[in-house]
Amino acid sequence: MSALTFDNRFLRDLPGDPDLSNEIRQVHGACWSAVMPTPVAAPGLLAHSPETAALLDLTVGELQSPALLAALAGNTLLPGMQAYATCYGGHQFGHWAGQLGDGRAIGLGEVVNRAGQRWELQLKGAGPTPYSRRADGRAVLRSSIREFLCSEAMHHLGVPTTRALSLVSTGEAVRRDMFYDGNAANEPGAIVCRVAPSFTRFGHFEILAARGDGALLRQLVEFTMHRDFNDPARHQDFDERLAAWFADVCSRTALMVVHWMRVGFVHGVMNTDNMSILGLTIDYGPYGWVDNFDPGWTPNTTDAAGKRYCFGRQPEIARWNLERLADALGLLTADTSALSAALDAFDETYGRAASRMYAQKFGLACLQDDDAALINAIFDLMHEAEIDMTVFFRQLAQVDPAAPAPGLFVEAFYRADLYAQFAPAFAAWLQRYTVRLQQEAASPNARQAAMNRINPCYVLRNYLAQQAIESAEQGDPGHIAALLDVLRHPYDEQPGRAAFSAKRPDWARHKAGCSMLSCSS
C-alpha cells in the first residue's frame, strides 16, 4: 500500500489540551484535544470517491485495502496519523452558544500529497470526544449518505466545498429520534471521511475571543494566514495583514454563497460554527435543493418557523456571520474600523459576482440597467407559479429568439392549474426576454452552450438522495455510486438518465427526507 505522508501542523504549531481523558469538559488555552476514535464492530466500505482518493495519491485498490478501511472506520491509526478533536464555539440561530467543538468529528492529520498539497482528513461519526456534550459522537447512515453525496456533487458543480473520501458502515446501530416526537429508533451507523485543506471554522476564532484569550487568538490567526492562506504580506504591520486577510475571508464567503444561489442549494444551518474560514461549504446536515423556486424555502424543520436560513436569506446571513467573526477579531486590534471596512469586501464581491452569475444564468454578456426588473419579474412569476428552478433554466437556454415557443416552460410547472393560470404571463415575459436577447452578440447556439455550462441539468434533488438512502438501508448501497456517477457531469445531458433530471415527483412533495429534513443525524 502506498504510504500516506503526514505533516500534522495543526497539532504541532497550536497548543493542545493537556488533559488526555475522553471526558466532556470546557477546554481552555488549547485548540485541540487528543482523542482516539472508538472502534466499530464491522466496517464495510459502502461508497468512495475516486477523485478525492486521487487528491491523496491513493488508488481505488489502496482505498479498499483492509488497513485503510480499518483507519476509515476509526479502528486503527495508520503510521503518521494522530487523532484529535478541535475546540470551537459558535452563534447558533443568532445566539452565542458557547463551546461546541468537534463533538463527533475526529481529525486524523494532514496528508501532504506528491504535488505538495496539504489535505486534512477527518472522520465524522467516529465516536465521542471531549466536545460531545450530551450526544453520542455517532452519525446515522442516512445523514452520512447525504454528506458523502452532496460534498462530491458540489465539487463537480464547481462549488467550493469540503470533500468526501469514503462512506463506511459501522455494523452498529445508532439511536435517533428523527422527528423529535419521543419515538427514538435504532438506525444503521456510518462514518464519512471528509477531506479539506482546512476544517477551521469561524467558531474556532470566536471561542477564543469569547474567553478573552487574545494571545491564542492571535496565534491561531497567524497560523491560519500561514498554513491556509500562504500569507503574501508577512512583513506588513499586523493590523494591515489582519484586515487584508479578513477581507479575503469575506470575499471567499461571498463567492461561495453566489454559487449556492446559482445552483439552488440551501445549507439549512448557517450557524457560525458551520462556516469555513476558507469559504468552503461545510457540514452537510439538513441541507436541501430548491425544486419549486421559493426564496423563503428552508429544508430544516428546526428553522421552519423562523426561516432564518431559507434560500433567499443566505447572502444576508453570510454577512451576519462575518460580522460575528469581525467582532472576534476585533480583540486583536485597537482600530476595528479596518475590519468594518473589510466587511465591505463582502458586499462588493457579492454584488459583482452575483450580477455576473445572474447574467450568465440568463445568457446575457452582462446585466444592463433594465435587466434587474426583467429578472425580478421572472423570479416573482416562478415563485407564484411554483416553477422548478433547475428545469426552468435548462429550458430557458433553448429559447429561439426568432420564434419563442410559448409552451417552452411547460415541463417546469408542478401544477396544471397554475400552468393554466400563469401561461400567458410566462409568454409575455418570454417576449420581453427575446427582445432583450436581440441585443446580444452571441449566436443562439453559443448562448445555449454557455448557459448549459452554468445552469446544471442534474442536482442532488432531495428525493434522489432519499431514494439512495432507502435502498442502502435495505442493504443495497449500489444506488449511491450510481447517483454519484450522474452527478459527476452535472452540466452534460446524459443519454438514458432523464429520470435524474426530472422535477420532483408528486409523492415526494411532503415526504420526510424529500422536502423537510430534521437536524437529527
Does residue number 345 form part of the binding site for ligand AMP (CB under 6 A)?
Answer: no
Does residue number 283 form part of the binding site for Mg ion (CB under 5 A)?
Answer: yes
Closer CB to ligand AMP, residue 102 or residue 152?
102
Instruction: State which of positions 445-484 bind Mg ion (CB under 5 A).
Output: none
Q: Are 318 and 311 in contact (CB under 8 A)?
A: no
Cell of 61: 485498490
Listing DSSP states for 185-232 in one string gives EEEEEEEEEEEES---BHHHHHHHHHTT-HHHHHHHHHHHHHHHH--T
Does residue number 283 form part of the binding site for ligand AMP (CB under 6 A)?
Answer: yes
Q: How far apart are CA 346 and CA 326, in angstroms?
A: 12
Does residue number 274 form part of the binding site for Mg ion (CB under 5 A)?
Answer: yes
Q: What angle do CA 502, 508, 512 make, to 5 degrees?
A: 140
Does residue number 151 form part of the binding site for ligand AMP (CB under 6 A)?
Answer: no
Smallest distance, Å, CB 435 to ligand AMP? 47
- Among 285, 288, 315, 513, which residue interacts with ligand AMP (rule: CB under 6 A)? 285
Binding mask 91-120 for ligand AMP (x = CB under 6 A): ---------xxxxx----------------
Cell of 427: 409568454
Does residue number 187 form part of the binding site for ligand AMP (CB under 6 A)?
Answer: no
101 binds, among Mg ion, ligand AMP, none (CB under 5 to 8 A by kind): ligand AMP
Q: How far apart are CA 411 and CA 400, in angstroms?
A: 17
Instruction: State which of positions 369-398 bind ligand AMP (CB under 6 A).
Output: none
268 binds, among Mg ion, ligand AMP, none (CB under 5 to 8 A by kind): none
Q: How far apart are CA 115 and CA 470, in angstroms?
A: 39
Candidate list 102, 228, 248, 273, residue with the active-site label: 273
Smallest distance, Å, CB 211 to ligand AMP? 16
Count, residues near Mg ion per rule CB under 5 A: 2
89 binds, among ligand AMP, Mg ion, none (CB under 5 to 8 A by kind): none
471: left (phi over 0), alpha (psi -120 to 50) or beta: alpha
Closer CB to ligand AMP, residue 138 or residue 227?
138
Q: How far apart are CA 520 and CA 143, in angstroms?
A: 9
Give the binding range for Mg ion (CB under 5 A) out of 62-70, 162-170, 270-278, 460-468.
270-278
Smallest distance, Å, CB 136 to ligand AMP? 5
The total of other beta-carbon atoms located within 10 Å of residue 463's CB is 20
What one-letter code names the amino acid at 53? Answer: A
Does residue number 129 form part of the binding site for Mg ion (CB under 5 A)?
Answer: no
Closer CB to ligand AMP, residue 56 or residue 193?
193
Q: How far apart are CA 140 and CA 427, in angstroms?
A: 47
Instruction: State which of positions 322-361 bind Mg ion (CB under 5 A).
Output: none
Q: Helices 444-452 and 337-361: crossing angle, nearest 10°?
A: 130
135 binds, among Mg ion, ligand AMP, none (CB under 5 to 8 A by kind): ligand AMP
138 binds, among Mg ion, ligand AMP, none (CB under 5 to 8 A by kind): ligand AMP
Q: How far apart are CA 15 and CA 349, in angstroms?
A: 35
Closer CB to Mg ion, residue 269 or residue 460?
269
Residue 84's contacts (CB-CB under 8 Å, 6 or more residues apart) are: 10, 11, 16, 32, 33, 34, 35, 106, 107
Among 364, 317, 322, 361, CA closest to 341: 322
Does residue number 37 form part of the binding site for ligand AMP (CB under 6 A)?
Answer: no
Smallest distance, Å, CB 286 to Mg ion? 11
Does residue number 147 form part of the binding site for Mg ion (CB under 5 A)?
Answer: no
Among 350, 344, 358, 362, CA closest to 399: 362
Does residue number 138 form part of the binding site for ligand AMP (CB under 6 A)?
Answer: yes
Binding mask 232-271 for ligand AMP (x = CB under 6 A): -------------------------------------x--
Q: Are 119 and 55 in contact (CB under 8 A)?
A: yes
Q: What is the CA radius of gyration of the chain?
A: 23
Q: Are 64 and 90 in contact (CB under 8 A)?
A: no
The question of whether 344 is a catalytic residue gets the answer: no
Contacts to Mg ion by CB under 5 A: 274, 283
Contacts to ligand AMP by CB under 6 A: 100-104, 131-132, 135-138, 269, 273-274, 283, 285
Q: Which positions are catalytic? A: 273
